Structure 1
Amino acid sequence: MFTTGQLIFALLFFLTFVIVIAFQYRKDRNLHRRYYKGTVWILIAFVGFIALLATVKFMFM
Structure 2
Amino acid sequence: MFTQGQMIFAGIFAVVFIIVMIVSYRRDIKIHRKQYKGSLWILVGFLLFIAFLLVVKNLSKG
TM band (smaller chain): 0.7 to 0.9
Bigger drift between 5-14 and 27-36 goes to 5-14
Amino acid at match of 1:15: V
Greater than 6 Å deviation, 4+ residue runs: none
What's the C-alpha RMSD, in Å, of the aligned pairs? 1.3
Over alpha carbons, which structure has the higher Rg? 2
Aligned positions, number: 61
Distance in 2 separating the partners of 1:59 and 1:12: 49
Percent of matched pairs sharing the same residue = 49
Aligned to 1:55: 55
- 1:5-46, Cα deviation, whole Å (9 max, x unpaired): 222222111111111110000000001111211111001111
Where in structure 2 are there 5+ consecutive unaligned residues? Answer: none
Matches within 5 A, 1:31-50: 31-50=31-50
TM-score, with structure 2 as normaliser: 0.82
**Equivalence for 1:23:** 23
Structure 1 length-normalised TM: 0.83
Instruction: Give distance in 2, aligned partners of 1:40 and 1:50.
Output: 15
Separation in 1, partners of 2:23, 2:32: 14
